[in-house]
Amino acid sequence: MRSDVIVVGGGVVGLATATTLAERGLRVRIWSRDAVTGTTSAVAGALWWPYRIEPAAEAGAWALDSLRVYGELAADPERSGVRWVAGVHADTVLDGLGPWAEEVEGLRQLAPEEVPGPYRTGLAARLPLIDMPVHLAFLRDRFEALGGVFERREACTLDEPAAEAPVVVDCAGLAARELVPDPGLRPVRGQLVLVENPGIEEWFTAADESAGETTYFFPHPGRLVLGGTAEEGDERLAPDPATAAAIVARCARVRPEIAEARILGHRVGLRPGRVGGVRIEAVPLPGGRRLVHHYGHGGAGVTVAWGCAEAAADLVVG
């Protein structure tokens, strides 16, 4: 099977990159170890917001590019999984955000009495909230409709895809730690609790980027997603019962009815954090071939996926 590009990795970053390349007229294959619903991306609560990602200047621009794409996809939420939803970022002040915030419509600083729960500062916003299992399936369908090929195939080395296509794009997430190898990659463990929604229609976050615990809840169709954790260097994939109980308790301090909500399940994912932030870089290979690295998106892979995809695609066709 002849291909112009093989993208290694079938999460949101790999799918967005492969789709962008296919839209530019290239013949693209994705090699993914997992089904799209088995990737780390499928675990994400997935509110658009630049969170735990560097470098900050580039991340803001990537996020805004992606925001425009999600705004378009939200016109068909049942197919795309993308909806505009209102909510509150607690412990957040407008003046403390980067220049990107000036281009996000509707951000509003709240008076102390408007902030829910035990918080005194907060920011109101209406942002894209993405139902990731639905969205990932949508992206795979969109990619394949462009002639792309999605293969369940694990790359043990990057030499393997390089032997089958002139360009390889490495969107392997945390697995790039061994594939590249890149010792700067480190797992940032995120644990979530899924509960029946007791009638909550707005999202809420209180996320300190320097802390290992966060508080958030996101209303998705059929469930309320509660979080969370950001435990650097922790590679445990099994849910921890004590952590789950603490997540529910923190969320219930903001909305007490959450304490009685029936638990539907637990999720754990390992975000691909990286010293130095996102890596988007082209490396020449023997015989005129090219390897484009595109990984290290930390906790904001969904938020920056489309902006980063354009940057990586420029290195493929440039």
Structure-block tokens of residue 185: 């990659």
**How far is 304 from 297, CA to CA, in rounded Å?**
8
Mean pLDDT, all residues of the chain: 96
Q: Which domain holds residue 256?
A: 5-317
Question: Which is nearest to 13 in space by CA: 273, 283, 294?
Answer: 294
Residue 1 has pLDDT above 70, yes or no: no
Alpha helices in the chain (DSSP H): 12-23, 56-73, 77-80, 132-145, 159-162, 176-179, 241-254, 301-317
* Residue 212 binned pLDDT confidence (cut-offs 50, 70, 90): confident
CATH number at residue 144: 3.40.50.720
Question: Which is nearest to 33 in space by CA: 49, 10, 53, 56?
Answer: 10
pLDDT for the residue numbered 122: 97
Q: How many CA atoms lie within 13 A of 99 on its CB side?
A: 6
pLDDT digits (tens, 9 = 90+) for 220-241: 999 999 999 999 999 999 999 9
> CB–CB of 272/299 below 8 Å?
no
Of residues 317 and 266, which shows the higher confidence score?
266
> CB–CB of 169/6 below 8 Å?
yes
Residue 72 has pLDDT above 80, yes or no: yes
Q: What is the mean pLDDT of residues 49-62?
A: 92
Q: What is the mean pLDDT of residues 8-27?
A: 98
Task: Specify the number of domains making up the chain.
Answer: 1
| Predicted TM-score of the model (pTM) | 0.96
**How far is 45 from 220, CA to CA, in rounded Å?**
9
Residue 209 has pLDDT above 90, yes or no: no
Residue 318 has pLDDT above 90, yes or no: no
Count Cβ neighbours within 10 Å for each residue of 249-269 and write b for 16 or more, e otherwise: ebbbebbeebeebeeeebbbb
**How far is 259 from 198, CA to CA, in rounded Å?**
10
Question: Which is nearest to 208 in space by CA: 123, 92, 108?
Answer: 92
Tokens 């993208």, residue located: 7
**How far is 72 from 82, CA to CA, in rounded Å?**
9
Q: How many CA atoms lie within 13 A of 281 on its CB side?
A: 8
**How far is 293 from 282, CA to CA, in rounded Å?**
6
Q: What is the dihedral of CA 154, 155, 161, 164, to 10 degrees?
A: -50
Alpha helices in 181-282 (DSSP H): 241-254
